[in-house]
């Protein structure tokens, strides 16, 4: 059997099951036939964010509708730790990078949060999802993060669920993140502000929420995209194991 770790790996928004045949949508078909140059009999891997990952075989390649046979399920959909990343939208390129890394690091939900100092007027949610899909294909995830529609900070706080801790990366100070996470037993969300940080009024509103846990990410001033990835990485290292 070929080494499946070197075969193309694609997400498909279809219900997959071993032993069945499916027709890939146009984008995936074009990628396999025109970019990867797959031929009849070539092996690929598919995952659906529902049931898991499958070994599959190209039956009839076509640039718009490739017929695929699903040979066997390789693994079930992974359990995902209940961590949200709530982050202010950044300029194109940087917010794409944050979405990509959030997926790689195992975030369950990504929530774009508009604030007083947010400089992005309109966020392309479809583009962000595409970056997440590509990241999942590359890093081996079998579950995609949920991508929420952008929400204002006021609306986020007003609808906050009491059982979820809000880890607030506050440049004015707080407990060291790793120490704080060892004391938090509830499902978590990490809140990261825009370049320039939160306004004083926003900071007061965040801290007034009972679920808020103010933390510091260290002695240096981090860019917003760096802060988001650093906070999620620390959460996974300290608290992620055993919270799936």
User: Is the pLDDT confidence value at 4 over 60?
Assistant: no
Mean pLDDT of the chain: 91
CB contact at 8 A, 83 and 181: no
Between the CA of residue 116 and those of 65, 70, 93, 196, 207, what are the distances in Å?
46, 49, 21, 10, 16
What is this structure's pTM?
A: 0.90
Compute the radius of gyration of the chain from its Cα atoms.
Answer: 20
- Walk me through the domains of the chain, giving residue ranges and CATH numbers: 4-76 (2.40.240.20), 83-240 (3.40.1280.10)
The string of pLDDT tens digits covering residues 83-114 is 999 999 998 789 999 999 999 999 999 999 99
Report the pLDDT value the prediction gives residue 14, as an integer from 0 to 100: 93
- With residue 94 as reference, give the H or E element that holds it: helix 94-104
pLDDT, average across residues 73-83:
94
What phi and psi, each to the nearest 5 degrees, are found at residue 240? -65, -40
The string of pLDDT tens digits covering residues 182-214 is 888 779 999 999 988 999 999 999 999 999 999
Q: How many whole angstroms separate alpha carbon 20 and alpha carbon 203?
A: 53
């Amino acid at each position: 059997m070929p080494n499946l770790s070197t075969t193309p790996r694609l997400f498909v928004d279809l219900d997959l099951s071993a032993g069945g045949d499916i027709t890939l949508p146009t984008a995936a078909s074009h990628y396999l036939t025109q970019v990867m140059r797959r031929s009849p009999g070539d092996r690929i891997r598919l995952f659906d964010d529902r049931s898991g990952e499958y070994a599959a075989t190209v039956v009839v390649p076509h640039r718009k509708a490739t017929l695929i046979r699903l040979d066997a399920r390789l693994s079930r959909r992974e359990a995902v730790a209940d961590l949200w990343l709530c982050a202010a939208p950044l300029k194109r390129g940087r917010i794409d990078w944050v979405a990509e890394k959030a997926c790689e690091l195992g975030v369950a939900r990504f929530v774009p949060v508009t604030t007083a100092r947010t400089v992005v007027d309109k966020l392309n949610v479809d583009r962000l999802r595409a970056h997440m899909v590509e990241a999942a294909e590359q890093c081996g995830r079998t579950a995609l993060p949920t991508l929420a529609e952008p929400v204002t900070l006021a609306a986020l706080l007003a609808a906050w669920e009491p059982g979820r801790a809000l880890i607030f990366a506050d440049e004015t100070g707080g407990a060291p993140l790793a120490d704080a996470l060892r004391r938090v037993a509830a499902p978590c969300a990490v809140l990261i502000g825009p370049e320039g940080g939160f306004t004083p009024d926003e900071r007061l509103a965040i801290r007034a929420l009972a679920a808020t846990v103010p933390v510091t990410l260290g002695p240096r001033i981090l860019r917003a995209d760096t802060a988001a990835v650093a906070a999620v990485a620390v959460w996974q290292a300290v608290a992620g194991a055993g919270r799936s």
